[in-house]
């Protein structure tokens, strides 16, 4: 008995820092935010209350749901595009590169994270603006200048800037970890190169591929920088609505409602994704 208790204590010592950190900086603020979503704003001042006004207002506000659909759709689109674009690149890095070359590629994929995301988004402004690099480039070929800035396309470009290197990195690592004999076994059983991708590689790397997509979705769904600086805030994403709510009339409680809705959405999607990733048959 005594030894069991000692093991428990020992294990707790390792769990404690994580538990304390998570409670202090995640559970407590989240709880506070949830409580705050029931508060009221009177004369631009927040007053503690237990009223459903904010929830009623936000849940039955059409603008809010349009923004929700837009944010969800844009994040899903980015996830799909990033995953699809990253896969061929990850395939080449994982199977066609030597180990040394792959290490360099992984290193290069980490480099984008050295610079601030905001700086990279400003760089995109220069590229995508009406009188920017892209228009000048098109002009050389005698084409009309285009302004991609302040459009959903620009927002997706920004989201990709944030998430693409990470998606590619996670995909590469999970593909490279596949037991090579599985691929040989597939060939050996009459499966061609292209078919092996769908019959073996994607199922074998499923966890990594889903986690990569999940990260892309989470980063895009909650991002404020790209929809604001590249998308021009219109239509607004949920993150922009949060900022707007706090700025206009000190509506922190309404912002809290949006934030709670966003977190519940992310928790459901993350849970579904992880369940899908680790689902086992038989």
Partner 1 sequence: MTRPLVVFDKVEKSFANFMAVKPTSFEIAQGEFLAIMGPSGCGKTTTLRMLAGLEAPTGGEIRFDGRVMNDVKPNDRDTPMVWQSLALFPFLNARENVEFGLKMRGVEPAERRKRALDWLERLGIGQFAERNVAKLSGGQRQRVALARALVTEPKILLLDEPLSALDAHLVIRMQSVLTKLQKELGITFVYVTHSQSEAFAMADRVIIMAQGEIAQIGKAKDIYRAPANKFVAEFVGRNNIFEGKVKSKTGKSLNVETPLGVFQVPAEGAPSTAAGSPLSFVVAADLVQLSATKPDAANVVECQLISEQFMGTTVTLFLEAKDGSEIKVQIGQRELETINIKNSAKLYASWPETRAHVLAG
Instruction: By CB under 8 A, name the binding residues for partner 1.
Output: 179, 181-182, 184-193, 195, 199-200, 203-204, 206, 280-282
Number of residues written out for the chain: 282
> Least CB distance from residue 76 to partner 1, whole Å?
25
Residue nearer to partner 1 on the CB measure, 103 or 195:
195
> Least CB distance from residue 88 to partner 1, whole Å?
20
Q: How many Cβ atoms from other residues are within 10 Å of residue 125's Cβ?
A: 15
Q: Are 8 and 14 in contact (CB under 8 A)?
A: no
Q: What is the dihedral of CA 57, 60, 63, 69, to 10 degrees?
A: 130
Q: How many Cβ atoms from other residues are within 10 Å of residue 262's Cβ?
A: 20
Residue nearer to partner 1 on the CB measure, 156 or 205:
205
Q: What residue spans of the chain are helical by DSSP H?
A: 2-22, 28-36, 53-59, 62-95, 99-110, 117-128, 133-140, 152-176, 180-188, 193-196, 202-204, 206-222, 225-229, 238-247, 252-278
Query: What are the φ/ψ torsions at residue 98 (nearest 5 degrees)?
Result: -70, 165
Residue nearer to partner 1 on the CB measure, 85 or 199:
199
- Which residues neighbour 50 within 8 Å (Cβ) at sequence distance 6 or greater? 38
Residue nearer to partner 1 on the CB measure, 156 or 212:
212
Largest CA distance in the chain: 83
> Least CB distance from residue 100 to partner 1, whole Å?
14
> Least CB distance from residue 87 to partner 1, whole Å?
17
Residue nearer to partner 1 on the CB measure, 46 or 199:
199
What span, in angstroms and rounded, lies between the C-alpha atoms of 42 and 280?
Answer: 53
> Least CB distance from residue 269 to partner 1, whole Å?
23
Residue nearer to partner 1 on the CB measure, 153 or 199:
199
Q: Which class for 218: exposed (0-12), middle (13-18), buried (19 or more C-beta within 10 A)?
A: middle
> Least CB distance from residue 94 to partner 1, whole Å?
17
Residue nearer to partner 1 on the CB measure, 107 or 194:
194
> Least CB distance from residue 185 to partner 1, whole Å?
4
């Amino acid at each position: 008995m005594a030894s069991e208790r000692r093991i428990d204590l020992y294990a707790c010592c390792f769990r404690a820092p994580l538990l304390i950190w998570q409670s202090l900086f995640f559970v407590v603020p989240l709880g506070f935010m949830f409580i705050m979503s029931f508060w009221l704003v009177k004369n631009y001042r927040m007053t503690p209350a237990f009223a459903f006004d904010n929830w009623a207002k936000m849940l039955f506000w059409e603008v809010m749901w349009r923004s929700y659909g837009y944010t969800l759709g844009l994040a899903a689109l980015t996830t799909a595009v990033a995953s699809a674009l990253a896969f061929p690149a990850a395939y080449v890095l994982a199977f066609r590169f030597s180990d040394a070359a792959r290490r360099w590629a992984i290193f290069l994929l980490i480099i984008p994270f050295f610079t601030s995301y905001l700086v990279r988004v400003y760089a995109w402004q220069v590229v995508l603006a009406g009188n920017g690099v892209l228009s000048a480039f098109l002009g050389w070929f005698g084409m009309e200048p285009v302004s991609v800035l302040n459009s959903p396309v620009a927002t997706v470009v920004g989201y990709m800037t944030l998430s693409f290197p990470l998606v590619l990195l996670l995909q590469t690592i999970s593909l490279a970890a596949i037991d090579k004999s599985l691929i040989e076994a597939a060939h050996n059983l009459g499966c061609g190169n292209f078919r092996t991708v769908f019959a073996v590689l994607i199922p074998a790397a499923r966890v990594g591929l889903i986690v990569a997509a999940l990260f892309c979705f989470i980063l895009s769904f909650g991002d404020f920088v790209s929809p604001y600086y590249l998308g021009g805030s219109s239509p607004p994403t949920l993150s922009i609505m949060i900022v707007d709510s706090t700025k206009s009339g000190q509506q922190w409680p309404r912002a809290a409602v949006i934030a709670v809705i966003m977190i519940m959405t992310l928790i459901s999607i993350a849970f579904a994704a992880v369940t899908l990733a680790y689902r086992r048959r038989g």
